[in-house]
Amino acid sequence: MNPIRKKKLEAEILRILATAILEGKVKDPRVFLPSFHRIELTDDLKKATIYFTALCNNNERKKLTAGLASSAGFLTSLVGKQLHLHTNPRFTFAWDNNYIKSLEVIRLIDESKPKTLYEETHPEEDSETSEEDPTTSEED
């Protein structure tokens, strides 16, 4: 398959999935606003692995994954109807550990950056603004 066409199909599939969930077409209560990051579509369009994350704990993540897996047939038919494909891909959903790792790398890079001159000369402003309660004052 043409790599450009494949990338366009992948982007369109992700758009359709996100729209279906945002519009409430997926009725499974375990499916609560996943964020789809990437898709790996086989060249023959028979299989698609969709990588996602969500703001949730480990238990909720398992429920979300199970909810997406149980909704895979509905989502496959929805994509097939909208894209008019000869073969509808079979969806599998996987938690995107790469995305989580990339966020950790970005955090580590930010922590290792040297402080600016302003941050070095005014270190108390960061700590004061985060701890200070604007509703109380110490004027007696």
pTM over 0.85: no
From residue 20, alpha-carbon distances to 58, 59, 85, 136 in Å are 24, 24, 18, 47
| pLDDT on residue 91 | 96
Rounded Cα distance between 101 and 123, Å, is: 29
Residues 6 or more apart from 49 whose CB is under 8 A from it? 39, 40, 91, 92, 93, 94
| pLDDT on residue 99 | 82
The 3-state DSSP class for residue 50 equals: strand
SS3 content of the chain, % helix, strand, coil (to 5): 55, 15, 30
Burial class of 111 by CB neighbour count within 10 A (0 to 12, 13 to 18, 19+)? exposed
CATH architecture type of domain 3-99: 2-Layer Sandwich (3.30)
Rounded Cα distance between 104 and 67, Å, is: 27
**What's the DSSP call for residue 35?**
E
Q: Sign of the C-alpha dihedral, residues 47, 51, 56, 58?
A: positive
Identify the segments of the chain with pLDDT beneath 50. 128-130, 133-140
Backbone φ and ψ for 115, nearest 5 degrees, come out as -70, 150
